[in-house]
Amino acid sequence: MAGTRLQTENRIAFDAELPENTGMLAKVCSAAVNGIEAYPVEVEVNAGWGDTMVVIVGLPDAAVKESRDRVSTALTNSGFKFPMGRTTINLAPADVRKEGPSFDLPIALGMLAASEQIETDQLDHFVIVGELALTSGVRPVKGVLPLALRAQAEGKIGVLVPAENATEAAVVAGLQVIPVQNLREAARFLEGTVRIAPVKVDLDRVFEPLAEDELDFAEVKGQESVKRALEIAAAGGHNVLLIGPPGTGKSMLAKRLPTILPPLTLPEALETTKIHSIVGLLTPGQGLVTRRPFRAPHHTASDAGLLGGNINPTPGEISLAHHGVLFLDELPEFKRSVLETMRQPLEEGHVTISRAAGTMTFPAQFMLVAAMNPTPDGKMPGESRCSPREIHNYLNRISGPLLDRIDLHVEVPAVKFREITDARPGELSARIRERVMAARHRQQARFRDRPKVTCNARMGAREIKAWCRLDAPTMELLKFAMTDLNLSARAYDRILKVARTIADLAGAENITADHVSEAVQLRSLDRQIWG
């Protein structure tokens, strides 16, 4: 009995020592990017008693910790008072590391609400992101599109974002996108004393084609056989290796491949834009990536540069080329270890990166276009002055398994003088694209029950068996080619896929001997050079 009375007295005495006002708490909705997706972050701000200081918890990185100084200066320069006493800021969930300066604006607004300098009930209805300048201006941040999509999924009314990011966020339907120029403007909007018109985007106008400065196949002199091969590649989504001496137009042809690919659909554009937004490649005011990407990394690129990396993994070149073209010029000059890391993404259409901070999976459905010289001195093997050993070592930089994953191996010969001087224009990219789109429509109809199979190049064993049937004479022709050229089992599947694409371009229901013969010819060059 005495022990109970003593415990009660101690508890009363402890309670009596606490101040009557332990502070005010405000909560602001924000978000952060993990991989290419966003997750909600709740910014909790408590302005309480004690010495004046700001403490940020919730696994902040250096950029987040430095927001204390940016926010305090921005508050002062906006005409607000810095909260007195101890201010604790918690970024929840606390077990996920927070990166970057995008929490500046929600932290500042949370401090204003917690110190009762603004009164609003809108903090729970908007997702807020933005970096603060010392002048209190709001600077753009990366990854706004994934954040807007997360806000939509969370059922929020809208987002408060930097004005330069507003167009990017506005492509998300059903969301109020409020562009803010500075901290005071954001505070007054939330209070209801200032009205800011939401930004709207007309997606039809965004997807309108831009004709100016457009590359075109009509500008390429000669190389009709190579153009045909690239048309087949575009129609089926196949990977291509261009082999030829310097100055034959390999790079010129590769750069024009996106002009004959089908336009991006809205889901493809959104997915591509998310990746570019996270990396910070969108220009100010750009809403969507509406053209298929064309990425051409230098041969000195590292594993991390090509596949993605960092402490917290970010997308690399192969993900930036998602739904577009990855061009690797001077293929043998790339480190072999770098090239070998591409085998899995080429096969599966995504790349998985494991780091101590976690594992990330990024999409990587791209067309690979590689270019190379046939020998170290750039000449064909029969004309080269290099020794057989030098040529062998040069070609051996590219492994057989990687070659097997490239569907078309195309010789790019030197352009003849009469072709260079021919004044007649070549076929326009628009004409070629019409045939490519017609072939793609046939594939979409064929694979309508298989959403993961977007084109012939993505067919698996089941689809090949169902849609690449051959009659007896055609099968005999393929058997002879496989034996004569010593092609692998993977090459067998590649030939069938390419033959299916050639048949689609011709509007044929069944694969014929002519289709297989052309597919074999587009596959045999590697054995002539490497064999």
Please state the φ and ψ torsions of residue 160, each to the nearest 5 degrees. -105, 115
> Which amino acid is located at 290 in the chain?
T
Distance from C-alpha of 256 to C-alpha of 436, rounded to nearest angstrom: 14
Least confident stretch, 95-99, 131-135, 428-432:
95-99
Least confident stretch, 6-10, 84-88, 223-227, 371-375:
6-10
Tokens of 30: 């924000």
90 strand-pairing partners: 44, 57
Please determine, for residue 518, whether its predicted confidence score (pLDDT) is greater than 90.
Answer: yes
- Beta strand segments in 231-357, E: 240-243, 294-295, 308-309, 314-315, 325-328, 350-355
CATH fold of 20-191, please? Answer: Ribosomal Protein S5; domain 2 (3.30.230)
Model confidence over 52-72: pLDDT tens digits? 788 999 989 888 999 999 999
**Average pLDDT score over residue span 203-216:** 71
Nearest to 323 by CA among 298, 358, 349: 349
User: Where does 242-314 have alpha helices with state H?
Assistant: 250-255, 266-279, 303-307
Please determine, for residue 482, whether its predicted confidence score (pLDDT) is greater than 90.
Answer: no
**Average pLDDT score over residue span 7-36:** 64
Q: Are strands 367-372 and 325-328 parallel, antiparallel or unpaired?
A: parallel
- Do residues 351 and 319 touch, judged by C-beta distance below 8 A? yes
Give Cβ neighbours of residue 344 (< 8 Å, ≥ 6 apart). Answer: 351, 352
Q: What is Dmax (Cα atoms) for the chain?
A: 112
57 strand-pairing partners: 90
Please determine, for residue 360, whether its predicted confidence score (pLDDT) is greater than 90.
Answer: no
Give Cβ neighbours of residue 181 (< 8 Å, ≥ 6 apart). Answer: 137, 138, 163
**Average pLDDT score over residue span 1-10:** 44
Q: HSE of 512 in the Cβ direction (CA atoms, 13 Å)?
A: 8
The H or E element that residue 343 is part of is helix 343-348
> Which amino acid is located at 221 in the chain?
K
Q: How many residues does the chain have?
A: 531
User: Where does 131-246 have alpha helices with state H?
Assistant: 144-153, 166-169, 183-191, 203-206, 224-236
Distance from C-alpha of 262 to C-alpha of 123, rounded to nearest angstrom: 43
416 vs 268, residue with greater confidence: 268
Residue 97's pLDDT is what?
A: 87
Nearest to 186 by CA among 121, 137, 142: 137
Please determine, for residue 529, whether its predicted confidence score (pLDDT) is greater than 80.
Answer: no
Q: What angle do CA 448, 294, 502 make, to 5 degrees?
A: 45
**Average pLDDT score over residue span 116-137:** 94
Domain ranges of the chain: 20-191
| pLDDT tier at 528, thresholds 50, 70, 90 | low
Please determine, for residue 259, whether its predicted confidence score (pLDDT) is greater than 70.
Answer: yes
**Average pLDDT score over residue span 314-325:** 93
Percent of the chain with pLDDT over 70: 92
Please determine, for residue 13, whether its predicted confidence score (pLDDT) is greater than 50.
Answer: no
| pLDDT tier at 410, thresholds 50, 70, 90 | very high
State the CB neighbour count (10 A cutoff) for residue 41: 23
CA trace torsion 466, 471, 476, 478 (10° rounding): -40
212 vs 154, residue with greater confidence: 154
Please determine, for residue 16, whether its predicted confidence score (pLDDT) is greater than 50.
Answer: no
Residues 90-115 as b or e (16 or more Cβ within 10 Å = b): bbeeeebbbbbbbbbbbbbbbbbbbb
Residue 337's pLDDT is what?
A: 87
Which position has the token pair 């007054």? Answer: 188
CA distances from 285 to 10, 170, 297 (A): 63, 11, 26
Distance from C-alpha of 360 to C-alpha of 312, rounded to nearest angstrom: 9
| pLDDT tier at 371, thresholds 50, 70, 90 | very high
Collapsing DSSP states into helix, strand and coil, what is residue 175? coil
Distance from C-alpha of 274 to C-alpha of 350, rounded to nearest angstrom: 15
Least confident stretch, 9-18, 205-214, 300-309, 495-504:
9-18
Give Cβ neighbours of residue 80 (< 8 Å, ≥ 6 apart). Answer: 112, 117, 183, 184, 187
- Do residues 84 and 75 touch, judged by C-beta distance below 8 A? no
Please determine, for residue 419, whether its predicted confidence score (pLDDT) is greater than 80.
Answer: no
| pLDDT tier at 40, thresholds 50, 70, 90 | very high
The number of helices, as runs of H, and strands, as runs of E, in the chain is: 24, 18
Percent of the chain with pLDDT over 90: 60
Distance from C-alpha of 494 to C-alpha of 234, rounded to nearest angstrom: 15
Average predicted confidence (pLDDT) for the chain: 88
For helices 489-505 and 429-446, give the axis angle rounded to 10 degrees. Answer: 110
Residue 451's pLDDT is what?
A: 85
State the CB neighbour count (10 A cutoff) for residue 155: 7
Distance from C-alpha of 391 to C-alpha of 397, rounded to nearest angstrom: 10
Give Cβ neighbours of residue 268 (< 8 Å, ≥ 6 apart). Answer: 323
Residue 21's pLDDT is what?
A: 45
Least confident stretch, 18-22, 212-216, 217-221, 505-509:
18-22
Peptide bond before residue 93 is cis, with ω within 30 degrees of 0: yes
Residue 210's pLDDT is what?
A: 57
Distance from C-alpha of 287 to C-alpha of 429, rounded to nearest angstrom: 26
Please determine, for residue 300, whether its predicted confidence score (pLDDT) is greater than 70.
Answer: yes
Model confidence over 218-238: pLDDT tens digits? 888 888 999 999 999 999 999
State the CB neighbour count (10 A cutoff) for residue 311: 11
Q: pTM value? A: 0.87
| pLDDT tier at 526, thresholds 50, 70, 90 | low
Least confident stretch, 14-18, 19-23, 371-375:
14-18
Distance from C-alpha of 506 to C-alpha of 336, rounded to nearest angstrom: 38
C-alpha dihedral sign at 113, 119, 123, 129:
negative
